[in-house]
Every structure is written in structure tokens, then in C-alpha cells.
């Protein structure tokens, strides 16, 4: 299927190059450095790593759109030479998205036909809203990511497929996606065929984005080891939504949620299984006052989503066995500050996270909550315009780790993003 999609994408680009005018290019790039002190070191000995992404779009006369997005992350720069060939990976390069879209417009609607590779408009992300309606991001600042433009995702995937989006003159849009991706569970990797539907609508004071889909893990051998053309033993359901009552500039209410995988199978041991750790939800009232905004969020975020989020990934890095993060966050932020004539944004995240929560055990014995592992983080951050872009800096402090080892209790990040 990847070969077919590559041929289709090449055909799109060839047609655009020869049949249309010179394309218009715009892009977005960012570089982030992270510094973390090593635990139990005799003196302060930091690990320093970098993350970077680049996203570009070629627009051929409004008829063809070609997009590419790439992500790079490194190991500790002080211990590894990125320019030296080694037997182990010292950096990761990932193609987040390669896509080609043909737009057909009529007097009453627009139609978008796309082929793609990578993580394309994933469920739960608001990138679909941004592309179809030209709005600013509506998701929570808590789930900010340096990994890609798509940001937080309820159903992360990496695959290849096709999509069709119908966008009438009104502010609604309907999308249909068909793609293949791989799922890895323990030592088993499955090829999963997916069919997703997406509905989005903008009202004067309401933004709604809902997605749902079916996944079909496909096999080529039966239980006796015989080769078959196609075998499906189970059906997986996944869904996600974004809901904003109000708008991002005034007092509002935001909700994001969904689930990754709900299994329907003839095998009673695997059918209908979905745990609390599989549920994604974030409920966030946003109170806008004269000089600052207060956002209070209650959340439960599965590991595979949280480990890419700037303000939550430290908790997942501490223990590879953590499956989900349950917690509360208060974010106080203001953009009414000036350094000379430069306006900048300053905020503080205060976050309580439970990493060993087991709600099945809680039903039997409420006192088990006393044995859950608690993490408390305070993260001041600042954002300001610099050299045609935006500089972002944050200092994450693990309050409970200070008493044992202050050197590893603080992370510092410094990044720069720019559009061109």
C-alpha cells in the first residue's frame, strides 16, 4: 500500500509542477534544548538533549497542497557525538507527515482528496480545525508538544492512507479516512486497517470536533498456520473529540477526550476490554480576568500521548511501567507584561499527578488511594518574540524530589519557533 500511495503522491506533485503556476511556500520550524540533572550524581551533572521539527507546505494555486513535517531528537549531547557513527542510536529522525492534497471547489462547497504517510490529522488533535477553518489552536496549554504541529492526540498512529473531506460553504466539515498502521504490543506487531469518520462544526460561541473509527487487525495465517488471504479476529473501536464552549480569548470551557482501543472479539478474554488507563480526558474551565487567565484542568492521559507533552513527559520518563497520568493542573498565565516595548507571556503550571492509580482496586478498598504514587510539579514558563520568531523557556521543578536529590529535581528547557 505504501508503494501505491507513493506513486499517487508523485503523480499529484508532477501534475502540480507542470500544470500550475509557481507554488507558494510557507513553513514552521522549532528547536528545543532540554537540560536535566542526573540522579544521585556527586555534583551537578546535566543531561542535555535537543528536539527539532520542521513543517513546510507548498500551495499550487490553491488546487494542490503538498505538506511535509519532520522531527529530530537526540540523546545526551555531552555523552554522545551526533556526528560519529556508532552501533547505538544517538539521534532519532522521524517523518511525521508527507501528504498531497487536491482541492476541488464548486459554487457551494470544497472537496479535498489526500494521500498521506505518517501521522495525518490524528483523532483528538485540533489540526483538522486549524486547516479547515483557519482558526488558532484551541487545545490546552498543558498538552503543548514540541513533537509536531498536530499536538495532543487521543489515537496516535503512524501509517499510510487516503482521505476525503467535504467542506460546504457553511462552517461545517466532514472527513472520511482509510489507512493502514502498525500496532506493537509487547513482542507482537499487527497490521491494522482503519476506517475513520470526522465531523467538525464552528458556531458563534461553540467549536465541536468529533471523530470515531474502526480498526481491523489483519493476519495472513489461521490458527493452524495455514496461509490465508485475509483474516480478521477482532474489531477495535476508537474515538476522540474536542469541545470548546466560548472562545480562546474569553472565559470558556474546554473538553477533550476519547479512548484508544475498545476490542470486540469472539474471544471472551479479550472482548470488551478497556481499562481506565486507556481513557483520555481533559476537562478545563478557563477563567479570563482583566490581567490574567486561570485554567484549571482535571485529566487522565495515557502514556503514549503524555510522553510527547512538554509539561507531562517528565513524569513518564521516571518509570517505564507508568501506563497513564491522572491529575489536576492549575495554569495562571498573563500576556500583559512588557520588557521595554516587547510584550511577553508569563505563566505557571502547578500540577498534581497520580501515576499508580488503580480504580479497580479502589472499588474494593478506598484506602488503597494512600498507596498511590504522587508527583507534584511547579513549572514557570515564559514566551516572547525574538528575531522574527518566539522564544520559549520553562523551568520544571519536582517538589517531592527536592528533599532526596535537588540536582535531579529541576529541568530547564529553552526553545525557539518561527514561521516563514
283: pLDDT strictly greater than 80: yes
Say which DSSP state 22 is in: P
Residue 219: CA count within 13 A, CB half-sphere: 14
pLDDT for the residue 166: 95
Pick the range with the lowest mean pLDDT from 96-105, 245-254, 316-325, 362-371: 362-371
Gyration radius (Cα) of the chain, Å: 23
If you average pLDDT over residues 106-111, what whole number do you get? Answer: 89
- Give 72-96 pLDDT, tens digit per residue: 888 777 676 556 666 566 778 888 8
Higher-confidence residue: 415 or 78? 415
At residue 360, the 3 state secondary structure works out as helix
406 pLDDT band, cuts 50/70/90, is confident
Say which DSSP state 402 is in: T
Percentage of the chain with pLDDT > 90? Answer: 36
- Give 109-153 pLDDT, tens digit per residue: 999 999 999 889 988 889 999 999 988 889 999 998 887 777 778
158: pLDDT strictly greater than 90: no
pLDDT for the residue 360: 67
pLDDT for the residue 226: 66
Top-confidence range, 39-43, 185-189, 312-316: 312-316
163 closest CA partner among 216, 108, 97: 97
Nearest-angstrom CA–CA distance, 70 and 54 = 5
Pick the range with the lowest mean pLDDT from 4-8, 93-97, 408-412: 4-8
Nearest-angstrom CA–CA distance, 365 and 359 = 10
Mean pLDDT across the chain, nearest whole number? 83
386: left (phi over 0), alpha (psi -120 to 50) or beta: beta
How many residues does the structure list for the chain? 420
Higher-confidence residue: 245 or 149? 245
Amino acid at each position: 500500500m505504501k508503494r501505491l500511495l507513493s506513486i499517487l503522491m508523485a503523480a499529484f506533485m508532477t501534475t502540480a509542477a507542470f500544470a500550475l503556476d509557481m507554488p507558494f511556500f510557507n513553513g514552521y520550524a522549532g528547536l528545543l534544548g532540554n537540560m536535566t540533572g542526573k540522579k544521585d550524581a556527586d555534583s551537578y551533572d546535566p543531561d542535555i538533549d535537543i528536539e527539532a521539527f520542521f513543517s513546510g507546505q507548498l500551495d499550487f494555486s490553491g488546487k494542490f497542497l503538498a505538506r511535509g513535517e519532520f522531527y529530530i531528537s537526540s540523546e545526551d549531547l555531552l555523552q554522545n557525538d551526533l556526528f560519529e557513527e556508532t552501533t547505538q542510536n544517538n539521534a532519532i529522525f522521524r517523518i511525521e507527515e508527507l501528504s498531497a492534497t487536491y482541492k476541488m471547489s464548486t459554487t457551494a462547497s470544497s472537496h479535498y482528496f489526500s494521500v498521506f504517510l505518517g501521522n495525518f490529522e490524528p483523532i483528538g488533535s485540533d489540526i483538522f480545525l486549524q486547516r479547515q477553518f483557519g482558526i488558532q489552536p484551541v487545545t490546552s496549554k498543558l498538552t503543548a508538544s514540541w513533537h509536531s504541529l498536530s499536538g495532543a492526540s487521543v489515537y496516535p498512529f503512524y501509517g499510510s492512507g487516503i482521505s476525503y473531506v467535504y467542506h460546504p460553504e457553511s462552517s461545517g466539515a466532514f472527513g472520511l479516512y482509510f489507512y493502514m498502521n502498525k500496532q506493537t504490543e509487547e513482542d507482537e506487531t499487527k497490521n491494522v486497517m482503519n476506517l475513520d469518520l470526522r465531523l467538525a462544526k464552528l458556531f458563534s460561541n461553540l467549536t465541536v470536533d468529533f471523530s470515531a473509527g474502526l480498526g481491523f487487525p489483519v493476519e495472513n495465517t489461521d490458527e493452524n498456520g495455514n496461509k490465508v488471504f485475509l483474516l480478521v479476529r477482532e474489531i477495535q473501536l476508537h474515538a476522540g473529540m474536542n469541545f470548546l464552549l466560548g472562545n480562546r480569548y474569553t472565559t470558556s470551557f474546554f473538553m477533550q477526550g476519547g479512548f484508544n482501543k475498545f476490542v470486540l472479539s469472539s474471544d471472551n478474554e479479550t472482548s470488551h476490554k478497556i481499562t481506565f488507563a486507556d481513557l483520555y480526558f481533559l476537562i478545563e474551565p478557563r477563567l479570563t480576568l482583566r490581567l490574567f487567565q486561570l485554567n484549571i484542568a482535571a485529566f487522565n492521559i495515557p502514556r503514549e500521548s503524555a510522553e510527547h507533552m512538554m509539561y507531562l513527559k517528565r513524569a513518564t520518563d521516571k518509570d517505564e511501567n507508568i501506563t497513564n497520568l491522572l491529575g489536576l493542573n492549575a495554569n495562571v498565565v498573563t500576556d500583559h507584561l512588557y520588557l521595554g516595548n516587547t510584550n511577553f507571556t508569563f505563566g505557571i503550571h502547578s500540577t498534581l499527578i497520580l501515576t499508580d492509580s488503580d480504580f479497580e482496586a479502589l472499588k474494593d478498598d478506598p484506602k488503597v488511594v494512600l498507596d498511590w504514587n504522587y508527583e507534584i510539579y511547579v513549572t514557570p514558563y515564559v514566551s516572547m518574540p525574538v528575531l522574527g520568531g518566539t522564544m520559549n523557556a520553562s523551568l520544571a521543578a519536582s517538589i517531592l524530589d527536592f528533599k532526596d536529590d535537588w540536582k535531579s529535581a529541576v529541568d530547564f528547557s529553552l526553545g525557539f519557533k518561527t514561521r516563514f
